[in-house]
Amino acid sequence: MTVYETSIFAPMKRFPKHMIWVAMFLLLAAVGCQDNASSGDPAKSVAPVGAEVEYTLEAYMSGYRGVGGEIEGKINPALKANAGDTVTLKLINKENMAHDIALDGQDVRTETAMKIDEVVEVTFVAKESTDYFCSLPGHRQAGMQGKFIVEGVAPQVAQNAPAVAGGAGSQLFPKTGTPLKPILPVSTDEISLGADTVPAPIGKRAPETVEFVINTSEEIAELEDGTTYEMWTFDGKVPGPMLRVREGDNVVIHLDNAPSSKMVHSIDFHAVTGPGGGAAVLQAPPGERRSMSFKAMKAGLYVYHCATPHIATHLARGMYGMILVEPEEGLPEVDREYYVMQGEYYTTERLGTEGHQIEDANRMLEEMPTYIVFNGRVGALTESRAMKAKVGETVRMYFGVGGPNKVSSMHVIGEIFDRVYKEADLISPPARNIQTTLVPAGGAVMVEFEVDYPGTYILVDHSLSRADKGAVAILEVEGEADDTIFKSLDGIKPVH
Ligand SMILES: [Cu+2]
């Protein structure tokens, strides 16, 4: 059992200097009135007064459920105590995913209960009203939040009155703007999956059974140079691996969630016809495997993603990929195939801030990403990892949007898409000569174009402020320049 006794000076850290002096003055005045000199030592915590109060809550993603007494059966019940009471909050985890209880703005939190029926608790002295909530990413938004109501004023609280009056009150979501911790050691050298990791074409064959093992893990990785973030991944990369099957195949999926994971993970395949796209049977707790099979009934290029609540949070950590279901006759042969996915990160600090970034749940709910990137990080598909082609070759891009929230106006600067298989419809004739194609969140497109002139071509989301948030990828084209196609009339050489 952990007992937290907050130093009476701690709340003052949040206040302007003049407020601290006001608080100091009142505190010293109060101390001066007391007979017992030892209680005037401001470095020591004040002993609790009042009753002992205990609440038991069951933890579900949809909300806490009260156990016993007045709170029995109530969802996210208001928990009451008098100032100075010694309060114990006991949590019984009722799901195979991690949960806890924390008090907003106060240094009170249980350990994390990792599995079903695990019990954790925390004991502390009631100080001021606030919200209790689950501090695991996304759980508060999913509904794990209630009121902790403190009535009356205990002596030690009275001493802190000026500080408490302006203190952290009840907030819908945690504060933002937390100073960055130093960059953390990375658990993976490179989070980005290369654009050239496209499986070989299926070719002509009859439908068969194909089997995939996909691992989920939680990694600390570089989001950009000098900035780390906790990514949640399929096979340790963002995006997850591209899977390639044939229409009519029986697809067997084994999802292995790493023992080191804190979260349950799962997959919803947009290629699946069935409950949750598979997510209804693929919720894998840490250290466990879930398996399923499905028939790839419809040809197309489909997004898959984690579908464990809070789902947007799992996507905003990088949990998406694509599966290509080739039509019976296969796809036309091309010279180059690339796999690119657009996704968002929501962090407390702006792009370019060095250190370890923390998720900003408010920004996610407001759909204001800090980063919008291709293949998992800023600069993933640039320099040595740029896509490549030679003049005269045909390039095909499998492009999808993991989101979770933003659609993409996919565009390659200086190119025209010869064929656009809109919304990844691989059956209908493609649209021709398209400059920019719209790709929905949780959707995809297949584009093909011949490269006719050498140079550096930039893949962007033509909502171009997003280039400043990281959405830039490079296609380097080598070969002979044909000046009937393109030339400067001032003798300027194009920047390659
Ligand atoms: Cu997940």
pLDDT tens-place string over residues 178-206: 556 788 889 888 999 999 999 999 988 99
Q: Is 496 annotated as a binding residue?
A: no
pLDDT, mean of residues 465-472? 95
319-344 tens-digit pLDDT: 999 999 999 999 999 999 999 999 99
Residue 159 sits in the same domain as residue 297? no
Amino acid identity at 188: T
| Best CA proximity match to 444, nearest among 155, 150, 144, 243 | 243
Q: Which of 63 and 433 is assigned the larger pLDDT? A: 433
For residue 276, report the distance from its CA to the centre of ligand 1, in Å. 14
Look up the CATH number of the domain holding residue 98.
Answer: 2.60.40.420
What are the distances in angstroms from CA 278 to CA 5, 218, 266, 268, 288? 47, 21, 8, 5, 16
| Best CA proximity match to 167, nearest among 43, 50, 6, 30 | 6
* Total number of domains in the chain: 2
Q: Is 305 annotated as a binding residue?
A: yes
Phi, psi values for residue 64, rounded to 5°: -80, 145
Residue 194 lies in a domain: no
Domain that holds residue 252: 209-478
ipTM entry: 0.91
Q: Is 18 annotated as a binding residue?
A: no
Q: Which residue, 104, 132, 165, sits at the end of a domain?
A: 165
For residue 351, report the distance from its CA to the centre of ligand 1, in Å. 24
Residue 37 lies in a domain: yes
Residue 152 sits in the same domain as residue 233? no
Rg of the chain (C-alpha set) = 28
| Assigned token pair, 33 | 């009135």
Q: DSSP string spanning 122-184? A: EEEE--S-EEEE--STTHHHHT-EEEEEEES--HHHHHTHHHHHTS----SS----PPPBPPP
The answer on pLDDT for 1 being more than 70 is no
For residue 263, report the distance from its CA to the centre of ligand 1, in Å. 7
Q: Which residue, 113, 140, 165, sits at the end of a domain?
A: 165
Q: What percentage of residues in the chain have a pLDDT greater than 70? A: 84
Residue 488 lies in a domain: no
For residue 265, report the distance from its CA to the centre of ligand 1, in Å. 4
Residue 191 lies in a domain: no
What pLDDT is attached to residue 179?
Answer: 54
Task: State the Cα–Cα distance between residues 445 and 324, nearest whole angstrom.
Answer: 11
What pLDDT is attached to residue 46?
Answer: 42
3-state SS, residue 332 = coil
For residue 341, report the distance from its CA to the centre of ligand 1, in Å. 17
For residue 308, report the distance from its CA to the centre of ligand 1, in Å. 5
Q: Which residue has the tokens 């990281």?
A: 470
Phi, psi values for residue 156, rounded to 5°: -70, -25
Residue 402 sits in the same domain as residue 259? yes
Q: Model confidence at 279, in pLDDT bands (50, 70, 90)?
A: very high
Task: State the Cα–Cα distance between residues 191 and 377, nearest whole angstrom.
Answer: 7
For residue 293, report the distance from its CA to the centre of ligand 1, in Å. 20
CA torsion 424-430-431-435 (nearest 10°) is 60
What pLDDT is attached to residue 496?
Answer: 55
Protein residues within 5 Å, CB atom, of ion ligand 1? 265, 306, 308, 314, 319
281-300 tens-digit pLDDT: 999 999 999 999 999 999 99
Residue 160 sits in the same domain as residue 253? no
Residue 76 sits in the same domain as residue 138? yes
For residue 242, report the distance from its CA to the centre of ligand 1, in Å. 17
What pLDDT is attached to residue 98?
Answer: 83
Q: Model confidence at 494, in pLDDT bands (50, 70, 90)?
A: confident
100-116 tens-digit pLDDT: 999 998 889 998 888 88
What pLDDT is attached to residue 155?
Answer: 52
Task: State the Cα–Cα distance between residues 267 and 275, nearest whole angstrom.
Answer: 11
Q: Model confidence at 135, in pLDDT bands (50, 70, 90)?
A: confident
Highest mean pLDDT among 32-36, 65-69, 113-117, 271-275: 271-275
pLDDT, mean of residues 248-269? 97
The answer on pLDDT for 137 being more than 80 is no
Residue 229 sits in the same domain as residue 136? no
What pLDDT is attached to residue 232?
Answer: 98
For residue 284, report the distance from its CA to the centre of ligand 1, in Å. 9
For residue 283, report the distance from its CA to the centre of ligand 1, in Å. 9
Residue 201 lies in a domain: no
Q: Model confidence at 227, in pLDDT bands (50, 70, 90)?
A: very high
The answer on pLDDT for 9 being more than 70 is no
Q: Model confidence at 176, in pLDDT bands (50, 70, 90)?
A: very low
What pLDDT is attached to residue 203?
Answer: 85
Other C-beta atoms within 10 Å of 443: how many?
A: 20
338-384 tens-digit pLDDT: 999 999 999 999 888 999 999 999 999 999 999 999 999 999 999 99
Highest mean pLDDT among 33-42, 45-54, 244-253: 244-253
Residue 138 sits in the same domain as residue 245? no
